[in-house]
Structure 1
Amino acid sequence: MENVVEIRRSKRQKTERSFGPDFLTSFLTEDPNRIDEQFVSAFLVDEDPKTYVEAITSIDSSFWKEAIKNELDSIMTNHTWDLEDLPVGSKPIKCKWIFKKKIKPDGSIDKFKARLVVVGYTQRRE
């Protein structure tokens, strides 16, 4: 006698994948020969600046400069660190800026955020 195994089907709800509110697509339908433009335009994403120079030279530079000012004011107000003379034979630990646009649920920009962080992996114990 042959055993017949019934295939089980998943009962999980399938959800549509989201690439985030800043993922933009644009397809041109008038000319099907322009596939290259259709393909390239599918990958247009408004990225946050990776460096200080990118931030202050971007189209949103006034917003980034305000975010940088707010971060430095916060550091000074909260006494996060104090300026000290560097001991002889020591090297300073590097810092870098992290920039992030905070997005509202509707996809609009809530605020521009700038954070000054220590590049901790450069610290060496002697």
Structure 2
Amino acid sequence: MLAMSQASYIDKMLSRYKMQNSKKVLLSYRYGIHLLKGQCPKTPKEVEDMRNIPYVSIVGSLMNTMLCTRPNIRYQSNLVRDHWKIVKNIRKYLRRTKDYMLVYGTKDLILTGYTNFDFQTDKDAKKSTSGLIFTLNGGEVVRISVKQTCTVDSTMESEYIVACDTAKEVIWLRKFLIDVEVVPNMHLPIT
């Protein structure tokens, strides 16, 4: 059996930002708060107000948790007050769930990959979104959802882009799992 926990890291992060005694919340997001580009600070006072909040530093601390065991807490862009409320809520959620961990069963560890894309999701820039997930015995180990960097004219082109991104991730993930000797059957094809 393989288990991954970040309880100690989460405790240190909460202490660093003085939230070790904060209220614990059930969900990582707050219902009714939507993050949109139109909410960006517009006045110099709003911009200055947001500079006094350690948002970028906290998001950096959350990145390790998000990348390793909590892919459900991602988002960072041109921040506004609602971003700060969400980040505070995420820290409260992590405080409540810090002892949760990813556990992979005792049977043979099998790596499975899934890909998808959404054609021209970003209506402003006409960009598509690539998505891929890899699971190890049904437990998610990699999740990527990213706006494609180029504008394409067809769904076929979007499919090629996500296929290329997936191939790169497969190569890296397979090498990583071989190096840490977690999956003894990595010589088998990834399904």
Whether TM exceeds 0.5 here: the answer is: no
TM-score in terms of structure 1 length = 0.24
**Structure with greater Cα Rg:** 1
Name the one with the larger helix percent.
Answer: 2
Name the one with the larger strand percent.
Answer: 2
